[in-house]
Amino acid sequence: MITERDLEAAQEVFHRLASSIEQVIVGHTEIVRAALIALLCKGNLILEGVPGLGKTLLVRTLAASLGLHFSRIQFTPDLMPADIVGTDLITEESGHREFSFSRGPVFANIVLADEINRATPKTQSALLEAMEERTVTVGSNTYTLEEPYIVLATQNPIEMEGTYPLPEAQIDRFLLKANVRFPSLDELISIIVRNTEGTGIRLPEPAATAEDILTARAVVREIPIAEGLREYIARLVLATHPESEHAPARIREYVEYGASPRAALALTMGSKANAFLAGEVNVRREDIRDLFHGALAHRLVLNFKGEAEGIPVDELLDSIWEHVPTHS
Amino acid sequence: MPFDFSRLLQSIAQRARWLHGLSVASIVLAAASIAALAAMIVVRALHIPVPFWTPITLVFLPALLGFAAYLFGRSAQPRLPDLLLLVDDRLGLKARFSSLYELRQRGGTSIFYCRIEDDVRNAVDWQRALPLGRRTILGGSTSACCIAAALSLALLPLPVRIATPSDPIGYASATAPEREFDTARSLEPSAREAAGLPAAQPTIELDRSAGTQIPGTPNTDHSLEDVMRDLSGMPTDESVIAPLSRDEIERLAAKQREARRALGELLDSIQDRLSGAPPGQQPYLTDHEREALQRELDREGLAPEMQQGINELLNPPQSRTVEEIVEQLVDQLADGEESEGSDADGEGPAAPQTTAVAPSTQDIEELLEALGQSSSEEDGTDTIELPAGAGEPGDASQSPDSELSQMDRPGLAGPGEEENSDQTGGTDGVGGMPGLEEQQDPGFIREQEQANVATHGHFVDEFITEGVPIESTSADDSDRLSLQVSYDRMLSILRERGLPDGAIDIVRDYFNAITEGGT
């Protein structure tokens, strides 16, 4: 049972956490918020941006702020699944040989899957179970991952040669997708100053514990969302399907597959987390709007025409947002 | 005061139902009122005769439909989650209201319940969130305008169908005073006298005393409604004929013939006796002859001219002798028999015989007789046959649907009817408009001449609109003359007098009808 004290404590922790991250990361407020939302919603986050924008630094800062076990996996084409999840090794002790499981980097609280699209689909798929079920199965043994657990992946939208786009099944397991934009002039100057003067960047001290995160997750789940807004979310997700009656014309024209029910869950939970981070006590329509693109953009599969014409997914989402009525 | 969320929800739901009812009602009301207004306009524009209750129905039917739609719309239960979200959006409550409802549905045990309730408690001005919709206001305004317009049209006199005994619905729907009035009109003079029934006062005198203007005289205040009222107030031939069956008419005509025959025999015997009297003896009537004449005078069906002549014979003036009066009566009787003989060629029952013809009009009578023969062959539009004072007898069955065509037919029953003119004023040729000449009506010129126009028989006592020039010109046949009236000129004169076009049409239709398509 969540108490008033839990609510206040959780809000205080995440306020402190956000401030701690902002001391290191210049700008990227939306990205930080998206990471916190993914953490609160027991989800995963994929960050997309060109190299050098601070994606990895963001994840490292988040991990440091949380004081949790952090591991980083640099995805390369020759990376094997066992390199991620671990493998059974023959060990010899006192002349007695036995298999012992050597845990891979996936066994952590915060996993950074850097340039995840450079690994083969087979290796990418090694993360599926960990991301969704929070378990890892090796041979006949299944290992449960420690909570809080979150996978933060990055991918480079350029240099696509030699990359393997994430399969729909895997990308659907990311709660949100955040596009890391290039910093503005002031932000860039701040980045220069912070990295070239003084002691340089120093990762923050832990501002929260695992228990704080779990409590905050429980608080977020208690945040009420009105029935009308739930239906609104459902209509929005249905509108991404070209065969749906709610779909606008552009969706029918350019979209091959719409978002899965996970998108509705992501949008609902993300809206709750967004309301929590905003200090609100219930989900508002603004919360849904803030999460709409992040929760749905990576779940839409364009058809050939859409791909050929280079239709931006965000434009399609905008058309959905304008088309779907707020009231039934 | 404690915050009663349940009561608030109930109030919101009630207001939503009320608004929904109004919304539905406004749509239905607007559509119905527009339809009613259109129907009213059509009725007014096309002069469609409708029962008197139709305008009231057209006005109140949209209201009834709107009320029914309101009840229907109000019966629909609003969906509270959507409704509350709407209130949130309009009041800027950040979905607090609907979230509170959500938490309440879960039992209200959440830590967020009290926080949200505190926010909602003082922020709810929910009536502001559910105002009357623009569509409702627009629909209501449209309805109000349409109904007001329809009501205005309804308050104006409509071309109400004349109730007659043969129209069960209209007659039954007419008020008792209307029926009494119609009955009184139906007992109008010419027809009654022609039928041997007691005469009543001339109808046209009622119109004149009511201040209505005779067509043809300048009067801009004489509206279409006035003309229609005049026309509708005139006794229709239906209302006159209806009480008399065809058999009754034939029976009355037979009585008239019998009266003339008996009178003729009596006059012949008197003439024989007087001719056999010794010369130098003052002509006189015996007591037996006086008694016989008195019986003939009291006999039913005798024409008033003949009655006057008999009275004169019974009490001869000093200027005339009994023999002269008898001779005049015999001549009149002979003329009437000739007219009857010509009527017998036509269709339908025989009309009362015409006997009274002013001697001074004999030459014009011949002229008109010749005109009738020539114009019937030409059938031109410019050469107008003088309006027949009497329609073709026996044509009542030819156009049963035409109300106007059936008007006053007994009064126009035939050329012999002008014998009633002295008492009924029926010499104007319009049975329902007697007494015109006596009152020196400036609107008409009475033409005493008798004409024999084609197959229509003798036409006498024609009325032509005053001021319309009549030119006597030679027809193709040089030995016959025709009276020519320029129709266009006549029409322009009528228009200059300020008569409404509709009134002109109605009057023209009326005369066309009573003359059976003649002029």
Element (H, E) at A68: none
Residue B228's pLDDT is what? Answer: 58
- In this structure, is residue B452 part of a structural domain? no
A282 with B94: Cβ contact below 8 A: yes
Higher-confidence position of B9 and B123: B9
Q: What is the tally of helices (H) and strands (E) in chain B?
A: 21, 6
Residue numbers of chain A with a pLDDT score lower than 50: none
Q: What residues in A contact B105, CB-CB < 8 Å?
A: 227
A4 with B111: Cβ contact below 8 A: yes
Domain boundaries, chain A: 1-197+207-222, 225-328
The residue whose two tokens read 């601070």 is A54
Q: Based on the domain organization, do B123 and B24 belong to the same domain?
A: yes
Distances (CA, A) of B283 to B269, B280, B324: 14, 9, 10
Residue B382 pLDDT > 60: no
Q: What residues in B contact A226, CB-CB < 8 Å?
A: 81, 84-85, 88, 95, 98-99, 101-102
A234: closest CA among A271, A180, A191? A271
What value does the mean pLDDT take over residues B2-16? Answer: 79
The domain of B277 spans 246-343
Residue in chain A nearest B94 by alpha carbon: A284
Higher-confidence position of B365 and A262: A262
Residue B459's pLDDT is what? Answer: 41
For the purposes of burial, counting CB atoms within 10 Å of the CB of A243, is it exposed (0-12), middle (13-18) or buried (19 or more)? exposed
- In this structure, is residue B160 part of a structural domain? no
User: Which range has the worst mean pLDDT, A204-218, B84-98, B345-359, B460-474?
Assistant: B345-359
Contact with chain B for residue A283, Cβ under 8 A:
yes
- In this structure, is residue B493 part of a structural domain? no
Residue A269's pLDDT is what? Answer: 92
> CA of A279, closest CA in chain B: separation in Å?
12
Q: Which residues pair with A301 in a beta bridge?
A: A257
Tokens standing for B426?
A: 């029926």
pLDDT in tens, B445-503: 444 444 444 444 444 344 455 555 555 444 444 444 445 556 676 677 767 777 666 77
Contact with chain B for residue A225, Cβ under 8 A:
yes
The CA-based angle B122-B125-B131, given to 5 degrees, is: 170
Residue A288's pLDDT is what? Answer: 92
Domain A225-328 CATH assignment equals 3.40.1440.60 = no
Contact B81, A228 (CB under 8 A): yes
What value does the mean pLDDT take over residues B407-422? Answer: 39
Residue B256's pLDDT is what? Answer: 80
Count: domains in chain B: 2
B101 with A327: Cβ contact below 8 A: no
- In this structure, is residue B223 part of a structural domain? no
Residue B369's pLDDT is what? Answer: 54
Residue A274's pLDDT is what? Answer: 92
Q: Select A1-197+207-222's CATH number: 3.50.50.60, 3.40.50.2300, 3.90.1150.10, 3.40.50.300.
A: 3.40.50.300
Domain boundary among B300, B324, B343: B343
Higher-confidence position of B322 and B494: B322
Residue B33 pLDDT > 90: no
B102 with A226: Cβ contact below 8 A: yes
Contact with chain B for residue A3, Cβ under 8 A:
yes
Residue B159's pLDDT is what? Answer: 52
Cα gap A217→B252, rounded to integer Å? 113
Domain boundary among B115, B136, B155: B155
B331: closest CA among B352, B311, B359? B359
Question: pLDDT band at residue B353, thresholds of 50, 70 and 90?
Answer: very low
> CA of B84, closest CA in chain A: separation in Å?
8
What value does the mean pLDDT take over residues B353-381? Answer: 43
Question: pLDDT band at residue B1, thresholds of 50, 70 and 90?
Answer: low
pLDDT in tens, B247-303: 777 787 788 888 888 888 888 888 888 888 777 777 788 888 888 888 888 877 777
Residue B485's pLDDT is what? Answer: 58
A226 with B110: Cβ contact below 8 A: no
Domain boundary among B155, B171, B191: B155
Contact with chain B for residue A224, Cβ under 8 A:
yes
